[in-house]
Structure 1
Amino acid sequence: MFADLGHFSVRDLQISFSTITLPSLLIVYCGQAAYLTKHPEHVGDTFYKSIPDPLYWPTFVVAVAASIIASQAMISGAFSIISQSLTLGCFPRVKVVHTSTEYEGQVYIPEINYMLMIACVAVTIGFRTTENIGHAYGIAIVTVMVITTCMVTLIMLVIWKTNILWIALFCVFFGTIETIYLSSVLYKFFEGGYLPLVFSLILMTIMGIWHYVHQKKYEFEINNKVSKEYIKQLGEDPRINRAPGIGLLYSELVQGIPPIFSHFISSIPSIHSVLVFVSIKKLPISKVTPEERFLFRHVEPREYRMFRCVVRYIIKDFMGTPVEFEQQLVEKLKEFIRHEYFIAEGEAVAVENPPQSSNILINQEKDKGSSRRVVFVEETLNQLNQSCRSSASIQSFNEAKSNNSLSGIVSAAPPILVAEEEIQFVQKVKDEGIIYLLGEAEVIAKSDSSYTKRMIVDYGYNFLRRNFRQGEKVMMIPQTRLLRVGMTFEI
């Protein structure tokens, strides 16, 4: 319910609850109470018995429509909760379809929809009567009220920092009323009230197992990151070749190189001409600008052409097709290379011997912001190209490579020309093809682990991993350009 309310603004909720919901509920409940004072024998079906005969069928239609709307709110709320759990790493991978580009949180999850359908059919067959289902509904609603009071009390204490007297008054007043209501419906536990608790237990078990193993796996990757010395030793290994194209190696790590990389090298002694370690992160914020979506860094040594890329999305963002994702990533990589050389080094080279109009451009750049800087750099690049085209050249990575080993770029050319060559090289290898590198990690418990841990990791987690979506399906990786290497993690 609350996940569904999150689709609307605070003002909308305040107006609708204050002017429509609350007055309507008060009028209905007062009317039913007045009716029961005269007809106490109708307590089992007060709602329909209290309706005047001319308004019975219109009210019946409205009641059915309201139940449909309430079921849709429950379904969309379940989708939102699962989607947010995925962002926090607390639920197995499922397909999330964003149905709206304007409103945040409007999602559809096919797997969860089918599970809800099966659960509804099973509950209907098992309970048979609406009375037993009503018992389950009553316990669920009152429990939600108690949990809400506890959470609001915590928010008042930690976030709002309200006076402790007001907090105590709020907690005692509402907590007492809701606890009395809860005690009055607990006697229906064995008559159907256990249903929401069983569903909650199943869901919490799935989330707990997945989050526990996911966290342990992440800690394993952090503790077993590939060292910088290992990367440098690759340049001295004559068995390592540079394959054409761009390799995208997916990893959860934002810093450091995952251990699956060394496993790739040991299994396939080859590295792509450009290698990018991609980490996709979902952020709990309202907006990520296109300029800040792809964050690049060099992996030293720079001449090996290895990069780290953190791709940042918000919950409602859609990655797009693989072609769109690849195009965006390559373009941002070019901008990163251009920024690294043009801004950090290109201006310094140009300022040492500025052209006649450079002072004007520099002043304009100071006055009008960073957009002028690009114009200045491009004009400087053209002048340097004319002066250095005949006297300087840049040796590409593959030309500098000897004996099939990794080596550095040896060039005495100006930095701006180096950047231009690097950008052209990236475009060239992009045209040769992009390959996705994905580790097929199997997680098992250590031999000395407890029986409970082995049950959770070896059976519970691996069952969920095999029966939910795999990583390549979630990221829509083309099977024809996917390279997977298996690895076993012991936690």
Structure 2
Amino acid sequence: MEKRDLVSEEVVYELFSFIFWTLTIISLIKYASIVLKADDEGEGGTVALYSLLCRNAKVGLLPCDTSTNEVMLYEERSCSKMKTHSRARRAIEKHRICHYLILFLALFGSCMTIGDAVLTPALSVYSASSGVQRSLTDIFNDIYASSPRTQESVSKALKRYVPIPSACVILVGLFMLQHYGTRKIGIMFAPIIAVWLLFAAAVGTYNIFYWDVKIICKISPLYIYQFIKNIDLARWRLLGSVILCVAGSEAMFADLGHFSKKSIKITFICLIYPLLLLGYAGQAAYISKNLKAPDSNHFSQSIPSHCRHLFIVLSLLSSAVGSQATITACFSIINQCLALNCFPRVKVIHTSKKIHGQIYIPDVNWLLTIFSLTVMLGFRDIVKIGNATALAIISGMLVTTSLMSLIIALYWEKNLMVSACFLVSFGFLEAAYLSACLLQFHKGAWYLVILLVVTMTIMLSWHYGTVKKYEFDLQNKVSTEWLIDISPGLGISRVPGIGFIYTDIVAGIPAFFSHFITNLPAFHQVLILVSFKSIPVPYVPESERYLIGRIGPKDCKIYRCIVRSGYCDHIRETGDFEEQIIRSIGEFISIEQNDIESMVSPDERMIVVGNSTLDGNALVALDEVDSSMGQTPVNNESQISPVDETLESSSRGNKRKKVRFMLPENSPKMQVSVRKELLELIEARESGSAYFLGQSHLVVRGGSNYLKRFLIMVYRFSEKNCRESPVALKIPHAALVEVGMVCTI
């Protein structure tokens, strides 16, 4: 807020009362006590809330083949919890508009988190740099007290060369540190933020006793009543700045993937909350007695003169630390959106092997850097940046309140009155703050709207394009009988090796592969149709990840593999998917005959593999050997000819290790037919692999409306500039076969 807004002591007391109760109600009660309990197996944020709703009510709009719903992991876990007679659930599931509204809220909240990650670093760093400039100016004014002309020249030089340049350097340094990961950054930053909070609380305590001890009594709600009683447009605008006191509350919830729920709650309740109150109380005490002093509402001015040097150092360091939570929250939200097909593919680096949620996204990190620098250099005004930040904070909180009310009713299965009370109680307070922030729209808040339009357009267009492409694949797929029956008629020959066919559909044959066979009548000795399915759970255990089935009779040797993953699983970093799929199919072949009861699909028999004990009746992986050396293991029935790995070695240009398989030495329980099929699988594996990938190009049908054309245009641009491949496997280029298809929608 600006200096002229604080016209009397009473206004300062009233705003301090607002700060106290806002921090208590929103940060302490809502987030620390209630919202943190709504984690999705340790993950937080709006997307985590959305995934909980998808699992506990049929509101999902994400691409998913309904023919395999009965084997999806999230439905197995949630069906037992659902109340089939819940009127609220029936009403939400019945109306399609509710599904779109919930998805829009989740994406809107994600956009607000991204906006907060852009604005908060710029605000905190620029504010600290401005405080440093003020403190240095006061120091030099004391030194050159006898020379007013020197004071003026020094003041102008400091104002020109300290705030913006130092803020730019700190911002760039902050974002450059992100690739070290949350754990290493936390070890580095935790002592700094602890010292800063203690320093701010100590200064606040000093100001309370030095300027106005009675400030503690000003937390009375009577001051809020007095503020509302004398309300006018100018006083209402002041609330837009008050909401900045709870900045970081939404990031605290979104950061659950980086830190444990218990550690966040204990740290906030026992350390951050009381120290923040002391700091705000001290600053309010100082401002109330220094209304006529220039810049009295800036924290740096309330620092005692003998602590100015320590303040300069701590403020510069803590400005970077204060932005860390919003940056990591942004990484978490985008990673969740990636898995749910609501954000273009970008490279995600997992920085911790123990804590799965600790991630780093290089492309997003540098985009945040550019946008933060643009905001700071473009506005050069703390008040305008603060107005945009306040709007981002309160908008994200309103989304969380709305989704939490649904969580209370549908997931926690509380009475509708409890859900309504939560929505009204917190929603009314946040709506009031939102209206105050919107009054500052022309003073910087408009930038957030532009950022929202850009990010929301990208997310919606990617989701829309993904859904349309998936629907096209479903409508143009061919039956498995077509592949089996047409082979003799077309004279299709089977070539040695394994063909991996990557497709989004989990039933039938994808259109691009039927197009390929029609023009080139040949496919491999063993065919494996692989589908990667992300489901709305954080993690899928390795033992439940692979779902294997058979297509057609055994003689065809055609299998289907569905790889299921949660929105926080880092499957793209696994380079041995081919070996895992082969091992899973071997396990499927071994248990198929003896486990007919576990077949869960009526059309294609499917089994969840990875959790059974076969007593040596499946494939055995040999130690890794150097394929470029041409070493071949020798072991009774699995002895075969040397491997021809020309395709794989040429794609690497150097040594490449590959897992080899064989039958177990002692397997008396293995049936003859099973042994034969496993040997054929090993032989095909040794003959080499080829990978078929469909490249669908979306084309808008003539006469379509402008909005549809625009969304597809944005989708095609995003797809063209994606930094990650559409499938998780690291496919050798020499063995990759891309089949182009034109999808007219």
Using structure 1 for the length normalisation, give the TM-score.
Answer: 0.80
Name the CA distance, whole Å, in 2 between partners of 1:62 and 1:13.
23
**Partner amino acid, structure 2, of 1:374:** D
Q: Post-superposition shift, 1:331?
A: 1.6
Among 358, 366, 391, the alignment partner of 1:106 is 358
The 3 A distance-change label for structure 1 pair 32 and 66 is same
Among 694, 698, 704, the alignment partner of 1:439 is 694
- Map residues 245-264 of structure 1 onto 2, 5 A cutoff: 245-264=497-516
The 3 A distance-change label for structure 1 pair 151 and 41 is farther
Q: Post-superposition shift, 1:60?
A: 3.8
Contact 2:587 2:618 in 1 (8 A): no
Name the CA distance, whole Å, in 2 between partners of 1:486 and 1:207.
25
Among 698, 708, 719, the alignment partner of 1:465 is 719
1:374 alignment counterpart? 615
- Map residues 16-95 of structure 1 onto 2, 5 A cutoff: 16-42=267-293, 45-95=297-347
1:417 alignment counterpart? 672
The 3 A distance-change label for structure 1 pair 483 and 172 is closer
Is 1:194 paired with 2:435?
Answer: no
Give aligned pairs, total.
Answer: 430
Name the CA distance, whole Å, in 1 between partners of 2:427 and 2:590.
61
- Map residues 24-423 of structure 1 onto 2, 5 A cutoff: 24-42=275-293, 45-163=297-415, 166-314=418-566, 315-320=568-573, 322=575, 324-341=576-593, 371=613, 374=615, 416-423=671-678
Name the CA distance, whole Å, in 1 between partners of 2:505 and 2:418.
44
Name the CA distance, whole Å, in 2 between partners of 1:211 and 1:461.
9
444-453 or 420-429, which deviates more: 444-453
Name the CA distance, whole Å, in 2 between partners of 1:22 and 1:219.
50
Contact 2:697 2:741 in 1 (8 A): yes
Q: Post-superposition shift, 1:90?
A: 0.9
Q: Post-superposition shift, 1:62?
A: 3.2
442-451 or 26-35, which deviates more: 442-451
Query: Over aligned residues, Cα RMSD in angstroms?
Result: 2.8
Contact 1:93 1:474 in 2 (8 A): no
Contact 2:492 2:522 in 1 (8 A): yes
Name the CA distance, whole Å, in 2 between partners of 1:344 and 1:177.
58
Secondary structure of the structure 1 residue equivalent to 2:297: helix
Task: State the Cα deviation string for residues 391-439 of structure 1 (Å, max 9, x = none).
Answer: xxxxxxxxxxxxxxxxxxxxxxx98112111111111111111111101
Q: Post-superposition shift, 1:88?
A: 0.8
Secondary structure of the structure 2 residue equivalent to 1:237: helix
Using structure 2 for the length normalisation, give the TM-score.
Answer: 0.54
Among 451, 455, 477, the alignment partner of 2:710 is 455
Contact 1:86 1:93 in 2 (8 A): yes
Name the CA distance, whole Å, in 2 between partners of 1:188 and 1:27.
28
Contact 2:484 2:556 in 1 (8 A): no
The 3 A distance-change label for structure 1 pair 327 and 149 is closer
Q: Post-superposition shift, 1:69?
A: 2.0
Contact 2:344 2:462 in 1 (8 A): yes
Unaligned runs of 5+ in 1: 346-368, 379-413
Q: Post-superposition shift, 1:70?
A: 2.9
Identical-residue share of aligned pairs (%): 38
Secondary structure of the structure 2 residue equivalent to 1:192: helix
Name the CA distance, whole Å, in 2 between partners of 1:280 and 1:211.
17
1:14 alignment counterpart? 265
Name the CA distance, whole Å, in 1 between partners of 2:484 and 2:426.
64
Contact 2:287 2:296 in 1 (8 A): no
The 3 A distance-change label for structure 1 pair 325 and 174 is closer
Unaligned runs of 5+ in 2: 1-250, 598-610, 620-668
